[in-house]
Chains A and B, each alone.
Chain A
Amino acid sequence: MSENNPTFVLSPGPHLHTEESTSKIMWWVNGSLAPAVLWGVFVFGFNAALVVLASIAGAVLTEFASQKALGRRPTLTDGSAVCTGLLLALTVNPNLPAWQAFLGAMFAIGLGKMIFGGLGFNLFNPALLGRAFLMATFPLNMTSGWAMPRPWFGAPLDAVTTATPLAVLKEQGIEAAVQLVTSPAGLWNALALGFRPGSIGEVSLVLVALGGGILLARRIITLAIPLSVLAGVALSTLHTGVPLLHLMSGGLWIGAFYMATDYVTSPSTTRAQIAFGLLIGLLTGIIRVYGGYPEGICYAILIANAMAPALDLWFRPRRAAIAGSPS
């Protein structure tokens, strides 16, 4: 690999989108995230905007600084650093201090991506590494002090803090979770439009799905991974009696559409992608139901990232195998 030319390297295998340039794809991804981001900022207010800006700034500046330091060609315009910053911001508490979001983005880009050699060489999804770092470093700020959203410029913000539906589900049971979700605006409004506590980007399923739809329409992603992630979650939470609550809450959809589908860290053949998605879904359900954390999608994707090369190997197309080889 030539160090001065960090091109976007696709793994071998059938791919739908080799004709798209990296930067074009990235800016489409960023654009499709815009509605969810704007809505998150709108319902959570000023600090959410600060978090988004700090996270993007942290990502972009770290990428720029490390490329300068290593004497590489700056690749800021390809939009991938912005994308990492945006995705990280979407997965954090809107009340997180902005400097912590900045630090998380620095970690995501610096130790999640640049240290592996830049875009295309990272093993793990940088934004999720950033989130895992923030969870470990600032557990209090990341997991408490959630705000019940209300539109900006609406009723004055009182400092009502509450837990997320998944946390309530974990600690207080099904009824309390349903109560929390349905009380302010009704179940449908809560889950679809985002009138419930949560991280900046996870509140409105409709807008995340809209963004995912744009990516699908542009053929930037395929349905294989997102659908199998959702199927995996449904399977592993069926026995709890509330698979719908699990399916429609948390950062699941952002994870399924935007993070699990990251080209660099996911397998490239369809069969491997389905296995990858199911693995993520099952792990998410297992962590949510049996694990220590209310939300599991972040760690599930990171674990599956580590499995991606193996999945590609196990599920590689038959014709690629040499007859009689021990595989």
Chain B
Amino acid sequence: MSETTERPPGALQLLFNGIVSENPVFRLALSLCPAVAVTTTVANGFILGVAVLAVQVLSSLTVAIARGVIHPRVRIPVYTIIIAVWVSAIDMALAAFVPALYAQVGLYIKLIVAFAIIISRLEVFASRQPLVPSFWDAVGMGLGFMIALMVIGALREVLGAGSFFGIVLFKTKPLLFFALPAGGFFSIALLMAFFNALERKLTGGTAKPAAGGHHG
């Protein structure tokens, strides 16, 4: 997808792309910090995932609409401002109108400003594509991020806390290690290795392994 001269991919393909073949966490290795910090439980992963999905879609739409007027030399600062505006606006609106929900998710919203995944989708996709494909790309990436966080959260919650979605499975904490930050790194690495191996098996060994580390 170099420029708009190419026909943009369809909605289904963009969704598949974001969730599976270019999964932000397991394939692009983006936004690993929150993926480690927040994924001690499935519920945490889910809430952060929803928040990212919302900010991603809104920011991508804004950039897709405004891409004609953004000067290319200052596009990155402008993207940052757009993301920050959406995050702050959502933060304030939730705090005002749904304080009970805000008490649960307020922490997650503020984290999102610095997520690499959002700005990278703006730069790679929304700034070069029309509104509709940008929307589907944002939805796919947001869902992919959410699902990845929930998978990591599931592994860590079951092993580290002995529960799943808050439902107690074991009375004791089976492997406390996985609830700790170090366990988060290992969980992501193990899952990434697993998905690479799976893909290699399915595609007959031609797939490239996930690209390494991008902070944020």
Interface residues of A, Cβ cutoff 8 Å to B: 103, 111, 115, 133, 136-139
Contacts and interface: CB of A to CB of B under 8 A. Distances in A.
Contact of B176 (A111, A115, A137): A137
Contacts of A115: 193
B186 A136 contact: no
Contacts of A133: 177
A139 B186 contact: no
Interface string B175-193: 1110010110010000001
B105 to A, nearest CB: 29
Nearest to B180: A136
Contacts of A111: 186
A138 B176 contact: yes
A137 B177 CA distance: 4
A214 to B, nearest CB: 35
Given A111-B186, A138-B176, A139-B176, 5 more contacts: A115-B193, A133-B177, A136-B182, A137-B175, A137-B177
Contacts of A103: 175
Nearest to B174: A137
Nearest to A135: B177
Nearest to B178: A137
A100 to B, nearest CB: 10
A263 B147 CA distance: 42
Contacts of A136: 176-177, 180, 182-183
A136 B182 CA distance: 9
Contacts of B183: 136
Contacts of B177: 133, 136-137
- Looking at chain B's contact residues, is the secondary structure mostly helix, strand, loop, or mixed? helix
Nearest to A115: B193
Contacts of A137: 175-177
Nearest to A134: B177
A133 B176 CA distance: 10
Nearest to B176: A137
A115 B182 CA distance: 16
For B176, B177, B180, B193, which residue has the most chain A Cβ atoms within 10 angstroms? B177
Nearest to B177: A137
Contacts of B176: 136-139
B123 to A, nearest CB: 33
Interface string B186-208: 10000001000000000000000
A139 B176 CA distance: 9
A138 to B, nearest CB: 7
Sort A-B residue pairs by CB-CB distance and give the 3 closest, nearest first: A137-B177, A136-B177, A137-B176
A136 B186 CA distance: 13
Contacts of B186: 111
A139 to B, nearest CB: 7
Contacts of A139: 176
For A133, A136, A138, A139, which residue has the most chain B Cβ atoms within 10 angstroms? A136
A133 B183 CA distance: 9
A138 B175 CA distance: 7
9 contacts: A103-B175, A115-B193, A133-B177, A136-B182, A136-B183, A137-B175, A137-B176, A137-B177, A139-B176
Contacts of B175: 103, 137
A26 B180 CA distance: 34
A101 to B, nearest CB: 14
A182 B186 CA distance: 43
A135 B186 CA distance: 16
A287 to B, nearest CB: 17
Interface string B148-180: 000000000000000000000000000111001
A85 B193 CA distance: 25
A217 to B, nearest CB: 39
B188 to A, nearest CB: 13
Nearest to A136: B177
A164 B47 CA distance: 44
A111 B178 CA distance: 14
A39 B31 CA distance: 51
Contacts of B193: 115
Nearest to A111: B186
A71 to B, nearest CB: 13
A234 to B, nearest CB: 31
A123 to B, nearest CB: 14
B137 to A, nearest CB: 34
Nearest to A100: B175
A98 to B, nearest CB: 16
Nearest to B160: A137
A139 B177 CA distance: 10
B110 to A, nearest CB: 29
A133 B182 CA distance: 9
A137 B172 CA distance: 12
B153 to A, nearest CB: 18
A136 B160 CA distance: 11
Contacts of A138: 176
A104 B175 CA distance: 11
A115 to B, nearest CB: 8
